[in-house]
Amino acid sequence: MNLFAVNRVLALPGFFLFLIFAACVNASERDELIQGIDARYDEHQDIALKIWDLSELGYLEVQSTALLQQKLSEQGFRVESGVAGIPTSFVAQAGSGKPVIAFLAEFDALPGITQTAAPVREEIPGKAGGQACGHHLFGTASLGAAVAVQQWLKSNNLPGTVRVYGTPAEEGGSGKVYMVRAGLFDDVDAVLSWHPGAVNRASVAPSLANRSARFNFHGVSAHAAGAPEKARSALDGVEAFNYMVNLMREHVPQETRIHYVITSGGHAPNVVPDYAQAYYYVRHPDPEQVRQIWQRIEAAAQGAASGTGTTVDVEIMHGNLSLLPNRVIADRMQANLTSLGGFNYSSDEQTFAEKIYATLNAPEFELGSEAKINDMEIDLSMGSTDVGDVSWTVPTAEFTTATWVPGTPAHSWQAIAAGGTSIGIKGMQLAAKTLALTAVDLFENPEMLQAAKAELQESQGENYEYSPLLGDREPALDYRLKP
């Protein structure tokens, strides 16, 4: 894989750019698509807010996926559920033949953070998690776009397939990776994706590849005062491991990110723990660097175990390749976003936004930017996503819309709050329209699809073969149930 393939993406031949800007849905079709999505505003809002309220965690999204599948089936989509060995996954499609244009639909929530739809901190007792990354909006907008495009294909009697991939457990579960590994994207011509955010813009920014694992240390218990010589502390193993990795931080490439938590360290100070666990993430823009750094991490774990008289086993939890953006499609997304424009807050939404904004300490963002379309994002994103594996397999592009108050970071209570209000719904509707318009552009312009595929092949490099960072492990369906 070529880490800096994105540099070529940013300097496409003028012929490609001509194709991009020459393409455009005609005015009557455009109006029909937008009006159709607007007409389903209440339905989309109802779906999104139900999933927001459910806030089901990764691989446990039973009711959320059932709702999306039901709504797609009612619109004539053929739905196959439980694909790639994941009970909450699905593939829904309508139409027939080529090209195949796909939308991604996420719906999982984040654990350990809850919030009402209020502009002040207000947790919900007893709730397992919240939609702090806006996936309730993500999946619903993709559904809305797919339905609109399906109806457009049908009314124009055109060949082509529109497909929705229900992709569970994006947050640390790598649901899409298993679906790519199973070959479910092999016949797809282009993938259109988006993500809730605080600004409106398309992106050609690469992301960080990452891998995670649980390191389980096993020792021998004994009374910490009465018989310490008979004990071997699993917690000592974890602490020695963490110390060694923290020393290693000085000797890794600059863009590397390593973070961990101790998820189990014993129960009482006077009982030497015979079990302890550390949960690690390693990130870098280049997947090969992640693999190399990971070898050193595992070596440190074995060294820590040896030095403390314990043993250690490693369970890989997830792994994502870096995001490989496609400039051909992203430019079309940016053009469609620009033509649609942003949206304005009502007076109640403005009052809500001002209260949220006061909690953010984000002077670089301004209220009112939700009404604007920002320049395309090109800088490296320090996050990770399992969309990365899709993007190395199929031409893929992403954009964001301002579903959150400007300045809101992902994974925050402020994101949950705005995502549960009409602010989130307005951003979601803008996303559905942008997805639909871009899909129709691709259906109507085979040259654009050819250019996107040529760009992907150039970025992949010669003799590219897909190799997932999570290896051959089966989906970690219980990863949100483990300590």
Tokens representing residue 20 in the block: 């991009």
Buried b (16+ CB within 10 A) or exposed e, 420-455: bbbbbbbbbbbbbbbbbbbbbbbbbbeebbebbbeb
Q: Based on the domain organization, do 338 and 401 belong to the same domain?
A: yes
Q: Based on the domain organization, do 222 and 192 belong to the same domain?
A: no
Tokens representing residue 477 in the block: 């369906």
- List the CATH number of the domain containing 47: 3.40.630.10
The candidate with the shortest Cα–Cα distance to 328, out of 252, 397, 425, 384, is 397
With respect to residue 480, please indicate whether it lies within any of the assigned structural domains.
no
- List the CATH number of the domain containing 315: 3.30.70.360
The candidate with the shortest Cα–Cα distance to 480, out of 185, 92, 150, 108, is 108
Which amino acid appears at position 434 of this protein?
T
Q: Based on the domain organization, do 113 and 70 belong to the same domain?
A: yes
Secondary structure of the chain in HEC code, one letter for each residue: CCCCHHHHHCCCCHHHHHHHHHCCCCHHHHHHHHHHHHHCHHHHHHHHHHHHHHCCCCCCCHHHHHHHHHHHHHCCCEEEECHHHCCCCEEEEEEECCCEEEEEECCCCEECCCCCCCCCCCCCCCCCEECCCCHHHHHHHHHHHHHHHHHHHHHCCCCEEEEEEECCCCCCCCHHHHHHHCCCCCCCCEEECCEEECCCEEECCCCCEEEEEEEEEECECCECCCCHHHCECHHHHHHHHHHHHHHHHHHCCCCCEEEEEEEECCCCCCECCCEEEEEEEEEECCHHHHHHHHHHHHHHHHHHHHHHCCEEEEEEEEEECCCCCCHHHHHHHHHHHHHHCCCCCCHHHHHHHHHHHCCCCCCCCCCCHHHCCCCCECCCCCCCCCHHHHHCCCCEEEEEEECCCCCCCCCCHHHHHHHCCHHHHHHHHHHHHHHHHHHHHHHHCHHHHHHHHHHHHHHHCCCCCCCCCCCCCCCCCCCCCCC
Phi, psi of 289 (to 5 degrees): -65, -40
The candidate with the shortest Cα–Cα distance to 86, out of 179, 170, 185, 171, is 179
pLDDT at 27: 81
pLDDT at 25: 64
With respect to residue 258, please indicate whether it lies within any of the assigned structural domains.
yes
Which amino acid appears at position 458 of this protein?
E
**Domain termination site, one of 298, 320, 342:** 320
**Domain termination site, one of 290, 305, 320:** 320
Q: How far apart are CA 277 and CA 218, in angstroms?
A: 9
Count the domains in the chain: 2
**Domain termination site, one of 291, 320, 349:** 320
CA pseudo-torsion sign 167, 199, 211, 327 = positive
Q: How far apart are CA 158 and CA 245, in angstroms?
A: 57
Q: Based on the domain organization, do 72 and 39 belong to the same domain?
A: yes
Phi, psi of 116 (to 5 degrees): -80, 175
With respect to residue 77, please indicate whether it lies within any of the assigned structural domains.
yes
Q: Based on the domain organization, do 349 and 437 belong to the same domain?
A: yes
The candidate with the shortest Cα–Cα distance to 436, out of 394, 399, 407, is 399
Provide the residue-wise pLDDT of the chain in tens; the chain has 483 residues: 444 444 444 444 444 444 444 455 678 888 899 999 999 999 999 999 999 999 999 999 999 999 999 999 999 999 999 999 999 999 999 999 999 999 999 999 999 999 999 999 999 999 999 999 999 999 999 999 999 999 999 999 999 999 999 999 999 999 999 999 999 999 999 999 999 999 999 999 999 999 999 999 999 999 999 999 999 999 999 999 999 999 999 999 999 999 999 999 999 999 999 999 999 999 999 999 999 999 999 999 999 999 999 999 999 999 999 999 999 999 999 999 999 999 999 999 999 999 999 999 998 889 999 999 999 998 888 888 999 999 999 999 999 999 999 999 999 999 999 999 999 999 999 999 999 999 999 999 999 999 999 999 999 999 999 999 999 999 999 999 976
With respect to residue 297, please indicate whether it lies within any of the assigned structural domains.
yes
The boundaries of the domain holding residue 144 are 5-207+322-460
Q: Based on the domain organization, do 31 and 139 belong to the same domain?
A: yes
With respect to residue 408, please indicate whether it lies within any of the assigned structural domains.
yes
With respect to residue 481, please indicate whether it lies within any of the assigned structural domains.
no
Residue 93 near residue 78, CB atoms below 8 Å = yes
Q: Based on the domain organization, do 160 and 232 belong to the same domain?
A: no
The count of other CB atoms within 10 Å of the CB of residue 323 is 30
With respect to residue 478, please indicate whether it lies within any of the assigned structural domains.
no
Residues ≥6 apart with Cβ < 8 Å to 366: 406
Q: Based on the domain organization, do 366 and 441 belong to the same domain?
A: yes
Q: Based on the domain organization, do 163 and 129 belong to the same domain?
A: yes
Q: Based on the domain organization, do 23 and 112 belong to the same domain?
A: yes
Residue 45 near residue 53, CB atoms below 8 Å = no
Residues ≥6 apart with Cβ < 8 Å to 131: 51, 52, 55, 109, 110, 137, 415, 416, 419, 420
Q: Based on the domain organization, do 342 and 275 belong to the same domain?
A: no
pLDDT at 10: 46
pLDDT at 4: 41
With respect to residue 483, please indicate whether it lies within any of the assigned structural domains.
no
Residue 329 near residue 443, CB atoms below 8 Å = no
Q: Based on the domain organization, do 125 and 114 belong to the same domain?
A: yes
